[in-house]
Structure 1
Amino acid sequence: MTSAQTSHPPAGAGRESGPGPDPEELQRSQENAVMQMLDVPAVADELAARFAARGHRIYLVGGSVRDALLRGTGASDRDSGDLDFTTDARPEQILEAVRGWADAVWDTGIAFGTVGLRRRDQVIEVTTFRADTYDGRSRNPEVRFGDDIEGDLIRRDFTVNAMAVELGERRFVDPHGGFAALAQGLLDTPDLPERSFADDPLRMLRAARFVSQLGFTPADRVIAAMTGMAGELSRITAERVQAEFSKLILGAHPRRGIELLCDTGLAQHVVPEVPAMQLETDEHMQHKDVYTHSLVVMEQAIERETDGPDLTLRLAALLHDIGKPATRRKEPDGRVSFHHHEVVGAKMTRKRLRALKYPKVLIDDVSQLVYLHLRFHGYGKGEWSDSAVRRYVTDAGPLLERLHRLVRSDCTTRNRRRASALQRNYDGLEDRISELRKQEELDAIRPDLDGNQIMELLGIPPGRAVGRAYQHLLALRMEQGPLSPEQAEAALRAWAAGNL
């Protein structure tokens, strides 16, 4: 296979029965066609000129090339943003080449051959050809620099990321058929997948991420290797797993990525609570299992996003029912119940997201959404009191809009009349919330007297008694709505008479 293969020759090429196109000419025409799709930024040419002047070759490589080709074919408007280059220059030679040209340089990755830099508004990474070996027990490689682009590309994770453009000669380098794979939407590895995944097991999770982000289909041998090597993911730190999982969840097709994780067994090492839902039957008896229902809820939540992908909402939608397996009960009438699964699920969600090292704010928000997602079903036909509506809003706090989207998405019944009734009921709840907001600024409910006023009226110093009085007045506000100053003072004195 040549170092510039872009696609397979046409059927019949090379047969003895008749003259065919010259292979080298065909290859050049394919390269030219590919190069026309690539919009190489001016900053890349500037960098190439500096390396060429010092006798070095430099290539645009990896996701930069992949995404440029996707844009060129109209398959995606995805832009990877940063530019990645690889070169035969050693790290110290890279530093010399960019000195005086780069606006900023950082060498935190120089031990691995990588120099980062910024030129105007463009962030760039330049890495020396690599030919690492791994010990098979950790992610730490024995760093060895390579001498040619072909040896570097075979180390890449997938063929669609193993394409390069030699900038000096404008030569397209594709020794592993990455362009053909890109056209087919096929995800395969340049080397044997078992060898590639043994080098870095995170690549298996990255495969699911690319399925989600780009809609690719993994090759059969990739799926087989992922299934057989799923346990190797335990070698990877939680932080790196979390980063890939978040990108998967935020992709255009997260359901496909989650299904691949579950089908291959990788989910057992990332979010084992998700495949565990495959064993359960939803209480509405309208879905194959809770797992399928949860994936549908996630898809419906995505449809309700208004400001781009929302990691908090998507995680809450995926995990909202993970408490069902632990709470499953068969009732005397034969129906299946999952009482308090939202309480159990919120605790499980918190534990899983902590294990994945998510930030505390995100953990709190997702867990609270899981905890609150079922509360609306007590609303019935609108019989909630104003105080119940206030509590719903207060408990949701800044998550209220997300809670609206999650609750509406949780309606997946195929019974159109029931689905319409549920949506109408929620319409009614939102209308009541809107009216109460107009009346009393519901988003910032506070007692009618603050702490200083409580201490002044009761003649008491700061302490627990002030907090108890404050909570009493807050409960009154929730139950009765705003009180006049006279009513609030009378209520405070009445409480104090029996509690101080």
Structure 2
Amino acid sequence: MEPNPAEPNPAEPNPAEPNPAGSSSARISRPPTTTLSEEDQRELDERIGLLAEAFADAGHRFFLVGGLVRDALLGRGLTGDIDITTDAGPDRIAQLLADWADTIWDQGKSFGTVGARRADTTVEITTHRAESYDSESRKPDVRFSCDITTDLARRDFAVNAMAVEMPGWTLLDPFGGREDLANGVLRTPSEPEGLFSDDPLRMLRAARFCSQLSLSPAPELVAAVRSVRPRLAIVSRERIATELTKLLELPSVAAGATFLVETDLLGDLVPGWRDGDAKASAAALDSLGDLSDRVPARWAILLGPVCDDAEAARCMRKLRIKGATISTTRSILRAARAAEAAYADAAAADGADAKRWLPAVRRLVADHGSRLDAALVVLRAWDCPLSEPFDARLAEVRASEGEALRRLPVDGHRVMEVLGTSGSAVGAALAWLRERQIELGPLNPEQACALLGEWDRQRQT
């Protein structure tokens, strides 16, 4: 095996470009360290120190890479998987793992990756790679390398193109990832058009990292995405869905959503967005409070201004979004539209005349009670808030009648006993009783049975 070329001196950092956003709000509050903390070093030494020594004793280099290095340098501790790259080939990796691991898997061996687990520690070790791509596919033609810098150059962003060598804890940062973290900028370690053309999914990952790490994309990165974005068509819908979901699950998504809008990626993914008249601001996606259904609510905020719930479902199905997320999004959209309609009915009524607005509010609570919190958040995000008086009325009904309105006090068996019959009459009776409850308010079983008897007598006359 050929010796590795000289590595850049980690004590001499590369200069980073200034933050193109020009805003302190886009910067990481804690500057990255020059190496891992003593606490992180101790933990890693306990977990994989013997493995690193085995590689070193065999004459191979052993580098921590990926998100673990990035987050540790930010002072976030050891997050994510333990990813390692080495100059050892896949067969040699498997041999060196044999004495350390409890379990080894090599399904990725053709790509240079061997995985292993020891107790509760899982590692993936990959031979340094230097790969090329076919223009019609995102699958790489994998070539192995002895050069760590060549391996780092193929990675998506400079903040992810750093490595820490064990033993010794030497940090390699040939593309200025530390400075990018400190300055709040997202750049690629090599020419962005080529990286995005090779693997177009990186364009969506750029949106996620803008939000996840509070980074502003460099101008050349944005220009490259605008130029290369048609290449996203070669990526499977499932992989796109996974990346979009990762973005929408973050606590704050406004920066990533802004990136998707400004690069026209969102217009490519969501038919109608580019031509829609009313759109929610990206900042509105972060105004969810403690809402539990964050991902469906964000889909509702994005899609509601440009399509109805049926079209939203079709769009999400094309993107291979999970069925449960689609169903919840549709429910939230229907609840939001119903709240708008109930508000219109109440606004047309005299506020002091409860008989005129109560049925509309009760129907809203009965039909959509479980989704109202999300629906009200979505309406505010669309800049269509309900008035304070209506909000107060809605809150009052939900507090005093909400649970009772969402269910009838009698079931089909009790209706059959009262009516002395079965079949379609039972369904008709339950539907009629539901309307009476919306008109009169929650009923107890005795009241319901009395009303059903009256309904049956009228029906038979």
Q: For this structure pair, what is the TM-score category when the shorter chain's length is used for normalisation?
A: 0.7 to 0.9
Residue number among 431, 444, 447 corresponding to 1:471 in the alignment: 431
Aligned partner of 1:305 in structure 2 is: 290
In the alignment, structure 1 residue 67 sits paired with structure 2 residue 71: yes
Change (3 A) 1:499 1:130: farther
Aligned partner of 1:217 in structure 2 is: 216
Question: CA deviation digits over 1:248-290, x for unaligned, max 9?
Answer: 233354222222222222223222433333xx3xxxxxxxxx3
Change (3 A) 1:137 1:149: same
Question: CA deviation digits over 1:70-120, x for unaligned, max 9?
Answer: 12xxxxx48642221112233333333333543444444333222333344
Change (3 A) 1:180 1:482: closer
User: Which whole-Å CA distance do the structure 2 matches of 1:152 and 1:64 have between them?
Assistant: 17
**C-alpha deviation, 1:33, in angstroms:** 3.8
In the alignment, structure 1 residue 352 sits paired with structure 2 residue 352: no
In the alignment, structure 1 residue 181 sits paired with structure 2 residue 141: no
Aligned partner of 1:208 in structure 2 is: 207
User: Which whole-Å CA distance do the structure 2 matches of 1:446 and 1:115 have between them?
Assistant: 55
AA aligned to 1:350 is: A
Aligned partner of 2:421 in structure 1 is: 460
- Superposed CA RMSD in Å reads 3.0
AA aligned to 1:39 is: D
Aligned partner of 2:408 in structure 1 is: 447
Aligned partner of 2:194 in structure 1 is: 195
Question: CA deviation digits over 1:456-480, x for unaligned, max 9?
Answer: 333435x444333332333333332
**C-alpha deviation, 1:451, in angstroms:** 1.6
In the alignment, structure 1 residue 430 sits paired with structure 2 residue 389: no
User: Which whole-Å CA distance do the structure 2 matches of 1:432 and 1:492 have between them?
Assistant: 25
**C-alpha deviation, 1:230, in angstroms:** 0.9
In the alignment, structure 1 residue 155 sits paired with structure 2 residue 159: no
Aligned partner of 1:342 in structure 2 is: none
Asked if the contact 1:214/1:252 (under 8 Å) is kept, the reply is no
Residue number among 300, 315, 318 corresponding to 2:302 in the alignment: 318
AA aligned to 1:44 is: I
Asked if the contact 1:163/1:173 (under 8 Å) is kept, the reply is yes
User: Which whole-Å CA distance do the structure 1 matches of 2:117 and 2:265 have between them?
Assistant: 37
User: Which whole-Å CA distance do the structure 2 matches of 1:52 and 1:267 have between them?
Assistant: 47
Question: CA deviation digits over 1:320-341, x for unaligned, max 9?
Answer: 3223xxxxxxxxxxxxxxxxxx
AA aligned to 2:297 is: L
**C-alpha deviation, 1:434, in angstroms:** 0.6
Question: CA deviation digits over 1:228-258, x for unaligned, max 9?
Answer: 1110111111111112222223335422222
User: Which whole-Å CA distance do the structure 2 matches of 1:260 and 1:389 have between them?
Assistant: 39
User: Which whole-Å CA distance do the structure 2 matches of 1:470 and 1:435 have between them?
Assistant: 23
Change (3 A) 1:486 1:179: closer
DSSP-derived class of the 1:274 partner: coil
**C-alpha deviation, 1:204, in angstroms:** 1.2
Residue number among 449, 454, 457 corresponding to 1:489 in the alignment: 449
User: Which whole-Å CA distance do the structure 2 matches of 1:484 and 1:9 have between them?
Assistant: 74
User: Which whole-Å CA distance do the structure 1 matches of 2:192 and 2:81 have between them?
Assistant: 27
AA aligned to 1:86 is: T
Question: CA deviation digits over 1:198-218, x for unaligned, max 9?
Answer: 210111111121112112122
User: Which whole-Å CA distance do the structure 1 matches of 2:242 and 2:290 have between them?
Assistant: 21
Question: CA deviation digits over 1:368-408, x for unaligned, max 9?
Answer: 22222242432337556443333212322432332243344
Change (3 A) 1:395 1:126: farther
User: Which whole-Å CA distance do the structure 2 matches of 1:250 and 1:442 have between them?
Assistant: 33
Asked if the contact 2:254/2:284 (under 8 Å) is kept, the reply is no
Percent of pairs with identical residues: 37
Asked if the contact 2:14/2:174 (under 8 Å) is kept, the reply is no
Aligned partner of 1:145 in structure 2 is: 144
After TM superposition, the structure 1 stretch with the greater mean CA deviation from structure 2, 46-55 or 80-89, is 46-55
Aligned partner of 1:7 in structure 2 is: 13
Aligned partner of 2:282 in structure 1 is: 295
Asked if the contact 1:294/1:320 (under 8 Å) is kept, the reply is no
Aligned partner of 1:114 in structure 2 is: 113
User: Which whole-Å CA distance do the structure 1 matches of 2:124 and 2:424 have between them?
Assistant: 57
Asked if the contact 2:333/2:375 (under 8 Å) is kept, the reply is no
Aligned partner of 1:329 in structure 2 is: none
Question: CA deviation digits over 1:418-456, x for unaligned, max 9?
Answer: x8x82353133212311224xxx337x332321222233
AA aligned to 1:313 is: A
User: Which whole-Å CA distance do the structure 2 matches of 1:476 and 1:322 have between them?
Assistant: 36
User: Which whole-Å CA distance do the structure 1 matches of 2:425 and 2:90 have between them?
Assistant: 66
User: Which whole-Å CA distance do the structure 2 matches of 1:32 and 1:84 have between them?
Assistant: 20
After TM superposition, the structure 1 stretch with the greater mean CA deviation from structure 2, 234-243 or 84-93, is 84-93
Asked if the contact 1:4/1:172 (under 8 Å) is kept, the reply is no
AA aligned to 2:284 is: V
Change (3 A) 1:53 1:469: farther
**C-alpha deviation, 1:486, in angstroms:** 4.6
Asked if the contact 2:128/2:148 (under 8 Å) is kept, the reply is yes
Aligned partner of 1:271 in structure 2 is: 270
After TM superposition, the structure 1 stretch with the greater mean CA deviation from structure 2, 228-237 or 188-197, is 188-197
Asked if the contact 2:15/2:179 (under 8 Å) is kept, the reply is no
Aligned residue runs from structure 1 range 233-382, under 5 A? 233-277=232-276, 280=277, 290-291=278-279, 293-299=280-286, 301-302=287-288, 304-305=289-290, 310-323=294-307, 345-374=308-337, 375-376=339-340, 377-378=343-344, 379-380=346-347, 382=351
User: Which whole-Å CA distance do the structure 2 matches of 1:48 and 1:248 have between them?
Assistant: 34
Which one has more relative contact order, counting CA pairs under 8 Å at least 6 apart?
A: 2
AA aligned to 1:204 is: M
User: Which whole-Å CA distance do the structure 2 matches of 1:49 and 1:423 have between them?
Assistant: 67
User: Which whole-Å CA distance do the structure 2 matches of 1:204 and 1:167 have between them?
Assistant: 32
Asked if the contact 2:208/2:247 (under 8 Å) is kept, the reply is yes
Q: Flag structure 1 segments of 5+ consecutive residues without an equivalent.
A: 11-30, 72-76, 281-289, 324-344, 413-418
DSSP-derived class of the 2:164 partner: strand
DSSP-derived class of the 1:59 partner: strand
Change (3 A) 1:8 1:200: closer
User: Which whole-Å CA distance do the structure 2 matches of 1:78 and 1:356 have between them?
Assistant: 34
AA aligned to 2:61 is: R
User: Which whole-Å CA distance do the structure 2 matches of 1:109 and 1:96 have between them?
Assistant: 15
Asked if the contact 1:215/1:253 (under 8 Å) is kept, the reply is no
Aligned residue runs from structure 1 range 37-186, under 5 A? 39-40=40-41, 41-42=44-45, 43-71=47-75, 77=76, 80-99=79-98, 101-186=100-185
Between the two proteins, the alignment pairs up a number of residues equal to: 427
DSSP-derived class of the 1:39 partner: helix
